[in-house]
Structure formats: C-alpha cells, structure tokens
Structure 1
Amino acid sequence: MDDVDDPGDPGDTADDAADSAGAEGDDAADPPADAVDPADPTYDYSPDGASCGACGERVTRRWRDDGDYVCVDCKEW
C-alpha cells in the first residue's frame, strides 16, 4: 500500500501540481511546429480613393501587383 497515493496527503498534491505546471510551461514557451505565416491581402478598397502605385490615378479599388496596389488598368491579369 506504500505505492498508492493518499488523496489526503498534501505533499503528493503539491508535487503533482508542480509537475503539471512545469509541463504546461514548457509547451507554452515553444512555438507550434506547424505555425502558418499570416496571409497577405491582394485587394484594397478605399471609399475616398487612393493613388495607384503605378500610374498615380486616384481609384477606389486596387489590387496587389509586384508589392504595390495598382488600379484595374495597371494590373497584369
């Protein structure tokens, strides 16, 4: 009966809590191995208009093209 944990024994409970806290702390410190980079937006809508990155025309709808937001006329589809 020496191998059986006594629920009334505070020493065992403290040891179990410390073991559990240590295990959770290790997992929380490591980033997930399958982490995904956030998606980059490919479209921008500006109700007041914004300048096209290629021609400078002020438009409300722009699409990403080579890192810039461009109007429909400058976008290579």
Structure 2
Amino acid sequence: MNNVVEYEAGVLVDLVASGDSTRINMFMDSMGMPYDVQDKLISELMALDSINQDQVAEILENNTMHSLSSHLTF
C-alpha cells in the first residue's frame, strides 16, 4: 500500500465519522474519482460496522487505480 492511499484512507475515516456526506463527495472529487465509483465506495464504507484506516485503504485499492503503482517493479 502506498502513502497516498494511506493518507486518503485516513481522511475518509475522519469524514465518515463526521457524517458529512457533502465533504466526503468533495474530497473524492479532489481525488479525481468518477461519480459512479464514489457512490460504490460510499456504500461500502457505510456498510462497515466499524471503520478504520486499513479497511478503507483496502477498499480504495480494490476499487481504484491506486493498486497499480504498488505492483510495479523497476
């Protein structure tokens, strides 16, 4: 997992805990995330019983292109 995903996951955990859906969408917009992916991620995040950074990072990697850079080797 890369530092960008860890940062984004941390911010999303805080935003979900605050319950401010507008700020969640605005942050995902700033990430360059398409709206259909945003909706899917928000649904997955809200379905969690308890939310933590590791769970959110895993969800992000499974649903976005972030995981690509983690698998590249030079």
Tell me, yes or no, whether TM beats 0.5: no
- Greater share of helix: 2
Larger Rg computed on CA atoms: 1
TM-score between both structures, scaled by the size of structure 2: 0.25
TM-score between both structures, scaled by the size of structure 1: 0.24
